[in-house]
Structure 1
């Protein structure tokens, strides 16, 4: 898929306990809220695990990120389904034949509440 300015790429993911456990092991982020369930039996999903949603676009399009920013707006819990919309803000060919890209994103939970927003820029290899 060739990207162009204005394209919106959407996808969703439901986070589960195993996701949090694996990310805890990999990242070392052992905050008590990631290890101890709340009264409803849910764990808080690590912010950077939630932030893997917009980075999926990078993997899908071979983006080498140069800059990423995240604004964490509210917690995500196991069992939450998060929809991420990435909008291509800038896409242009560089002199060396690569493409420079800049995108913004918004992630919302199943209640349509924003949980994360931000942007990234980089080059496509």
Structure 2
């Protein structure tokens, strides 16, 4: 389940410090299986209940990069949105995401260089209000100027 949020573009000229966008998605078994197929990461901690029960996670977990992909969706669809070029992303995984968890992926503007069209973003994912992933992204925002 993905919240239906506004999509489009916020140009470098419109971006403001503290601006924030988010999405909310419940991670399903099907999401995990599709990510395993696409990424070719078939680690049994993601796919095998019996195996995962005997790990430090005590059960199956979603791929960390599946969770991180939700940040990419916020950046590419909302802030700055369509036309954005990803330049870099740091990630720190704080807790696992399990099948059935609802993840809130948030992106917040923490730096703007209008001349270079660069935007620094604080990125985070939460489950039940608890941070499960944090990081920062640098992106090249689209411009509304056509000179």
| TM-score after normalising by structure 1 | 0.86
Q: Residue 86 of structure 2 is aligned with which of 65, 81, 99?
A: 65
Instruction: Say which of 73, 80, 83 aligns to 1:56.
Output: 73
Could you say which residue in structure 2 is the equivalent of 1:100? Answer: 118
Normalising to structure 2: TM-score of the pair?
Answer: 0.74
SS at 1:11 equivalent: strand
Question: SS at the partner of 1:43?
Answer: coil
- Judging by fraction of residues, say which structure has more strand: 1
* Structure (1 or 2) with the larger CA radius of gyration: 2
After TM superposition, give the deviation of residue 8 of structure 1 in Å. 1.4
C-alpha distance in structure 2 between counterparts of 1:12 and 1:52, whole Å: 12
Aligned to 2:28: 16
Task: Report the RMSD for the aligned CA atoms in angstroms.
Answer: 1.7
Residue 99 of structure 2 corresponds to 78
- Unaligned runs of 5+ residues in structure 1 are none
Determine the C-alpha separation between the residues in 1 that align with 2:124 and 2:41: 24
| Rounded Cα–Cα distance in structure 2 between residues aligned with 1:45 and 1:85 | 18
In the alignment, structure 2 segments of 5+ residues that lack a partner are 1-9, 54-58, 143-147
